[in-house]
Amino acid sequence: MLRFSQVDVFSAEAFRGNPVAVVHDADDVTEEEMRAFARWTNLSETTFLLSPADAAADYRLRIFTPGTELPFAGHPTIGSAHAWLEAGGVPKTDGELVQECGAGLVRLRRGERLAFAAPPLIRSGPVSEEDRERIARALRIDPSQIVDLEWIDNGPGWVGVLMDSADDVLALRRLVYGETHVTPEEAEALIGLDESVEHAGPEWLDLFVEAMTDFVIHQQEPQGYVSEGNAAWLTDRIGHDGRVKTQTELELLIRVIEKATSVPPSLAGFALGQVREAVLHAAEARGMAVVLTGTRHFRH
């Protein structure tokens, strides 16, 4: 039996935070099962609490997105510490927890709120000219518009990009979303980009799902209602031999169903079928029946 908690991080109000699934007592869970479970939860991150290998740590944590493992991430660190304490974990030092993870030891202060000291960078320094050009292409700007950039990676693979002004940064978002809605050309480009990314991070998932949900739901009046035409376009565009190709596309389907006032029965049926396929795939990957008992905690 796997016991897990779903923790709502960064909010004191239910359903307003950033969720993370935390699996307790995961020492006997294989990496394959961890990856399957992370795909099944379909959250940006799922974590697994294990016994520490380092004597200085209170527990060890492994962090998975639906597509890959991360050495460190912020909100999963806070949520997992909360879940560990709620489950009866007792820190070795009063007022402090020590998490062992792929980025090393991370110290958390336990007060009115949990807070952590960011781990050292695992990669820093200048970015190659080749990567600079790739980043500029991804941002759809000329490389000359980038004032400076360097690696600031403590886990997820961050590159910090310095622009000339705040207005330039805001203009980048408008390049993706437009002044009002995503255009059909941009929607096609986003789907093509999503299908070309081998391991998409949570930030890409958020951007892709938000942009594409806007396109599918808000492209014709009355807003909020998915038209038969848009439903047919979506299922045709992401339904490869009757199945979606990426986890982000599955998340898009679920978000459209959640956000729309009304959707055609054909789209609702297609989405339900994809969710069923994902659950069956996860069960087959585990090779066994896993009984899950879930609890939800809401904490900032």
Residues annotated catalytic, as ranges: 45
Q: How far apart are CA 292 and CA 2, in angstroms?
A: 5
Count how many residues are written for the chain.
Answer: 300
* 3-state SS, one letter per residue, for the chain: CEEEEEEEECCCCCCCCEEEEEECCCCCCCHHHHHHHHHHHCCCCEEEEECCCCCCCCEEEEEECCCCEECCCHHHHHHHHHHHHHCCCCCCECCEEEEEECCEEEEEEECCCEEECCCCCCEEEECCHHHHHHHHHHHCCCHHHCCEEEEEECCCCCEEEECCCHHHHHHHHHHHHCCCCCCHHHHHHHHHHHHHCCCCCHHHHHHHHHHHHHHHHCCCCCCCECCHHHHHHHHHHHCECCECCCHHHHHHHHHHHHHCCECCHHHHHHHHHHHHHHHHHHHHHHCCCCCEEEEEEECC
Q: 9: closest CA among 98, 116, 104, 120? A: 116
Q: 248: closest CA among 240, 257, 238? A: 238
Q: How far apart are CA 131 and CA 31, in angstroms?
A: 31
Other Cβ atoms less than 10 A from the Cβ of 140: the count is 11
